[in-house]
Amino acid sequence: MAAEIKDLYPQQLWGYFYDFTQIPRPTGHMEAVTRFVMEVGKKLGLETVQDEIGNVLIRKPATPGMEHLKTVTLQAHLDMVPQKNSTTKHDFLTDPISTYIDGEWVKAQGTTLGADNGIGAAAILAVLSDETLKHGPLEALFTIDEEVGMDGAVGLKPDFLKGEMMLNFDSEREGELFVGCAGGADLNISFQFKEDKGVPEGDVAVKLSLTGLKGGHSGVDIHLGRGNANKLMFRFLKEAVCDYGARLSFIEGGSLRNAIPREAFAIFTIPGDNVEALWELVADYQDLYNEEFKGIENNISFTAEIVDLPEILIPEEIQDDLINAIEGCQNGVITMLAEFPDTVESSSNLAVVKSSEELIEIKILVRSSSESRKAALCSSLESVFALAGAKVEYGSSYPGWQPNAESPLLKIMEKTYLSKWGIAPKVKVMHAGLECGIILAQYPYLDIVSLGPTIEHPHSPDERVNIPSVQKFWEFILSALEKIPKK
């Protein structure tokens, strides 16, 4: 039962998280969830406002006697990534998330859980509603539409916040404090063409289905070496076209720019005489992929079936240019950070490839904590696709968050964690994008640290949040708020 999570400790936090699971909140559909957060703030009798773009801000006065402390902004985003297994029937615009407890973890039934960043938002509401806590002046910032474009943070006006320090709750590893993150840039690529209606005589149509990949967050999980469904599909298509006379009609892989694509599907025609050989080739590739990704992926499924002949084909020239460009497209980890071992500096995620009537669209998300390397990687990808005759446009771009080694807030958080649990937290830079860099552009004086409980496999249906880590995260927040310095 999904409601079982309301009995977990701390009950206020898990209760609010349950509420978030009942409210559809994919990026771009924020009305219901912002209305809910505003209603909570008003019921608590707290100052509650919404800016022009839709972000919600709630202010809570200091505990009596602590008014002299610096104002702390608690920040989380309200939207979630809508990903589901192909066998799961779920409408993210209308259906609640169905959760369950599995040992020390909370998971969802065949969909993303929304712990990214629902747990962070729930923790903030729990702080606002708990009258037993001791703290200085607080303000809670709930941003909208973070997962696609970070529109909420980008739309912040410079006079909206009053905080001098900020705790961002969008990190996903308990015991780690984040003081920097990568920036990102979107590349939107398109091939336009006139449909070819001349299906070769004697051809049959085949549908390829590549499924079973783990996918995951293109920042948090990119270093794990998981398979990219688009890259694997086009690797096969190149051989099918070159050696078996395949003619591509349809392609669809991936769905979100910041999720590693888990599935890809293609329809093509092939001379009837080559069908039996193709079945063997598909089986060989399935074995090959499972062997190459042994220990990383669990069970990659690559299958083919006969389907009705399509009415149109993608012209051979476009087909060949597309395949060559995808094959040549850099994907995955590109460079590592020397200053922070085991941290990715730059990466590329070939996120979406989708054909429709006379158009093929490709979306790539580039991440880097170096602005110059981000620009260089974007330029490299642009060149590959431009040489193939595609149109390349730059979409949204956001800055990284540069580490501040002298951060007073970081020192408070480190000392608090050490005194509470006897071990020092790890200080890290995150390859995933956080809103901190964007917020700092409007509020350069803010001192920011990011933290959170342990969340695994966000942006995929395998997403799960660790229950004991949520308790530690909560207790850490409460202890840290008591140690904020004077103004």
Q: Do both 348 and 423 map to the same domain?
A: no
What's the structural domain count of the chain?
Answer: 2
User: H or E element: which one contains 427?
Assistant: strand 426-430
Give per-residue pLDDT as tens, 10-65: 999 999 999 999 999 999 999 999 999 999 999 999 999 999 999 999 999 999 99
Query: 426 and 376: one domain?
Result: no
- Joined together, the tokens standing for residue 291 give 């062997």
What is the structure's pLDDT at 450? Answer: 97
The predicted structure's pLDDT at residue 42: 98
The confidence score (pLDDT) of residue 1 equals 52
Is residue 123 domain-shared with residue 260, that is, in the same domain? no
Cα four-point dihedral sign 293, 296, 301, 302: negative
Which residue, 398, 421, 455, sits at the end of a domain? 398
Over residues 89-104, the pLDDT tens digits come to: 999 999 999 999 999 9
Q: Which of 371, 398, 425 is the last residue of a domain?
A: 398
Do both 272 and 306 map to the same domain? yes
Mean model confidence pLDDT for the chain: 95
Span 374-394, average pLDDT: 97
By annotation, the residues acting in catalysis are 79, 146
107 with 172, same domain: the answer is yes
Structure tokens at 177: 């404090």
Please tell me the predicted confidence (pLDDT) of residue 291: 98
Which is it for the CA torsion 376, 382, 385, 386, positive or negative?
negative
The separation between the first and the last C-alpha atoms of the chain, rounded to the nearest angstrom, is: 47
Q: What average pLDDT does the segment 83-91 reach? A: 90
Of 398, 430, 451, the one marking the end of a domain is 398
Residues 411 and 384 in one domain: no
pLDDT in tens, 284-293: 999 999 999 9
Give tens-digit pLDDT for 131-168.
999 999 999 999 999 998 899 999 999 999 999 999 99
Do 369 and 447 belong to one domain? no
Q: Answer whether residue 427 is part of any domain.
A: yes
Q: Say whether both 355 and 209 belong to one domain.
A: yes
Q: Are residues 138 and 256 in the same domain?
A: no
CB 334 within 8 A of CB 369: no
Identify whether residues 168 and 270 lie together within a single domain: no
The answer to whether residues 347 and 453 belong to one domain is no
The structure's pTM equals: 0.79
Percent of the chain clearing pLDDT 90 (strictly above): 88
Is residue 486 a part of any domain in this protein? Answer: no
Beta bridge partners of 106: 101, 465
Query: What range does the domain containing 250 cover?
Result: 185-398
Cα–Cα distances in angstroms (integers) from residue 433 to residues 81, 123, 181, 376, in the given order: 14, 21, 6, 18
Q: Tell me, what CATH number does 65's domain have?
A: 3.40.630.10
What CATH number has the domain bearing residue 199?
3.30.70.360
